[in-house]
Structure 1
């Protein structure tokens, strides 16, 4: 499958940093998914709001596991912080109340369960 020049640059950047091939494939998958979710807009035109919206979509519409959300977040954090040099900042403060804490719900659930025992 042919890849875009942008994704090829990201792939090269990952390889230069010495990351594993599995990490490379996973990050490229999530970056491509993020771009397609946002109607093929270039990541330089987007920022924290789109990342938060995407992560919220994964949590609420796609019902992905917390660890899967973390992997997607790590891929997008690499894209923005390391590759594009456009730090996302504090994503938690950008999250609307319905999405706030999606990535932290597993430890909250554990503490809630343990407090009821």
Structure 2
């Protein structure tokens, strides 16, 4: 992430959402999960935790970054 010149704060926020995603699914590795798990996690944050639309977008962007740039397995 640092090579792509992200702000330090953005890096920490992305790591927070990626960690929340992994913990939501009982610490499963992201490569063993896919679109369905991402949708389920984001729905949980939107409906149960009641996060704002902007926060939902940040969580989605974090997970998209994880899958596109880290695992090389893009979402959707």
Using structure 2 for the length normalisation, give the TM-score: 0.97
1:42 maps to 29
Would you identify which runs of 4 or more consecutive aligned residues in structure 1 move more than 2 Å?
none
Q: How many residues align?
A: 76
2:48 maps to 61
RMSD after superposition: 0.6
2:67 maps to 80
What does residue range 73-112 of structure 1 map to in structure 2 within 5 Å? 73-89=60-76
Structure 1 gaps of 5+ residues are 1-13, 90-117
Using structure 1 for the length normalisation, give the TM-score: 0.64
Structure 2 gaps of 5+ residues are none
Q: Which has the larger radius of gyration?
A: 1
